[in-house]
Amino acid sequence: MRRRRPWKIAVPHILIAFLLCFFISIMGMGSRTATATFAQTEPETAVNAPSASASASKMSSIANKTVADAIKPPASKAIAKDSVKKSTPTDANPLENNLVPFPSNVALPMRVGVALFVNSINKINEATNTFESQFDIRYVWNDPRLAFDTGEMGTNRLEFGQEAAVAKLATIWNPQIKITNIIEKDAQISPGLFIHYDGKVELIQRVKATFESKLNLDAFPFDNQSLLVAMLSSKYNSNQIALSQDQDDLNASGLNPELKVNGWNPQGITFKTSQLRAWNGAFLRQIEARVGMKRIPNAILGSIFTPFLLTLIVPTIFTFFANVDLAPRLVAWSGSILALVALTFTFSVRYPWLGSNSLVSQIFTAGHAYQMLSVILSITLLNPDVAKRMDRFIVAELVSYLRWLVPVGFLGVLVTKSLLTAFDW
């Protein structure tokens, strides 16, 4: 019986098998890619389908429209609705880009009443000169073209809110008033509109945003701040509209009775009208609302005066009230000088917005001057080696006065300066 030779795997066989596997895998990947591409492009076709069917439905009958709606897949309707919703700017200012002409047969300048009611103030940032607030602002004007018959309408006032207000504002004239110091990046504006039977229009906007307002911190921590909200009509000059307030506007303005701001006491709201000169020489009307805020200084005073006085009390006792030699006095003042320098640096880091004219900077400067004067007295009149070369009676008399005059006088300067700043005398 003939024995069968064992089959040997040669290198060409291996290469042929590898190439076959490679081509099979490529073909499989190509088919899966084509399937995936088809699966991705199919929903886009479904999204575009409603627009074509919608245009066709306008020209077709009600029956055809019903059939077309029945044929459409429900998923495409949801996707189309989402796409329309995303393309609609929800936070757009409804007062901008209005092309409705100015009202005729009205007395010029047309009065536009302004009222502002502050609901909340969340944060006052001294470092960036900004504050975060939410308030309701109301504009009132008269447009005879919008008057209507109460009998036909069944009401004496038409109301529009949110999206309906934005749509209605696009069809009527409005004064196009802007808040000039608002930071529009994160601003949220929700409008509400009332149209009365006699043509009176009330536009109410709930604004939540961050506002720029220059803060004066020279009196810190006894400072009073005036938070600004500036409103300007940049399209119509002072001969066309007049921003003003009557008693009704003043009654609608104010602060929320429950308004609380951490570290501050609200003081009220005031208004001021002014004119700005535009680039073309025309004058524009502007009205400024300012919310008064008074800082509560209790916690800040403790963090300022307690470490400040502690850096001075020990060397003061060594110098004026203890019978010690010159060396311990100078050592005590050296430590006091270093401690006050460190305290000054700490406050400059913690409150970088404080200038050289601020009360805190003046107090630290006075402290350095007191240290220098005390060191000079320690090495002159209070130094036994120097005093014995002078008339001992004169030195004793001067020391008895300076022992109380210097520290008490320095403390009096601090208290007087603080009181003058606190009460704005």
Per-residue three-class SS string for 22-43: HHHHHHHHHHHHHHHHHHHHHH
DSSP code for 261 = B
Question: What does the alpha-carbon distance between residue 393 and residue 403 come to, in Å, rounded to a whole number?
Answer: 15
Residue with tokens 């190439």: 19
Question: What does the alpha-carbon distance between residue 3 and residue 246 come to, in Å, rounded to a whole number?
Answer: 120
Task: Specify the pLDDT at position 204.
Answer: 96
Task: Specify the pLDDT at position 20.
Answer: 57
pTM for the model: 0.70
Task: Specify the pLDDT at position 299.
Answer: 79
Q: Which residues of the chain have pLDDT under 50?
A: 1-9, 11, 15, 18, 22-23, 25-92
326: number of CA atoms within 13 Å, CB side? 13
Ramachandran angles phi, psi of 322, nearest 5°: -120, 145
Task: Specify the pLDDT at position 424.
Answer: 75
Task: Specify the pLDDT at position 98.
Answer: 64
Q: What digits encode the pLDDT tens for the residues 156-204? A: 999 999 899 999 999 999 999 999 999 988 899 999 999 999 999 999 9
Task: Specify the pLDDT at position 66.
Answer: 33
Task: Specify the pLDDT at position 212.
Answer: 96
Question: What does the alpha-carbon distance between residue 95 and residue 178 come to, in Å, rounded to a whole number?
Answer: 8
Task: Specify the pLDDT at position 60.
Answer: 35
Burial class (CB in 10 A: 0-12, 13-18, 19+), 291: buried
Q: Each residue of 208-242: b (16+ CB within 10 Å) or e?
A: bbbbebebebbbbbbbebbbbbbbbbebbbbebbb
Question: What does the alpha-carbon distance between residue 172 and residue 146 come to, in Å, rounded to a whole number?
Answer: 8
Burial class (CB in 10 A: 0-12, 13-18, 19+), 267: middle
Residue 233 one-letter amino acid: S
Task: Specify the pLDDT at position 49.
Answer: 34
Task: Specify the pLDDT at position 91.
Answer: 45
Task: Look at residues 351, 344, 353 and name the one whose alpha carbon lies nearest to residue 307.
Answer: 344
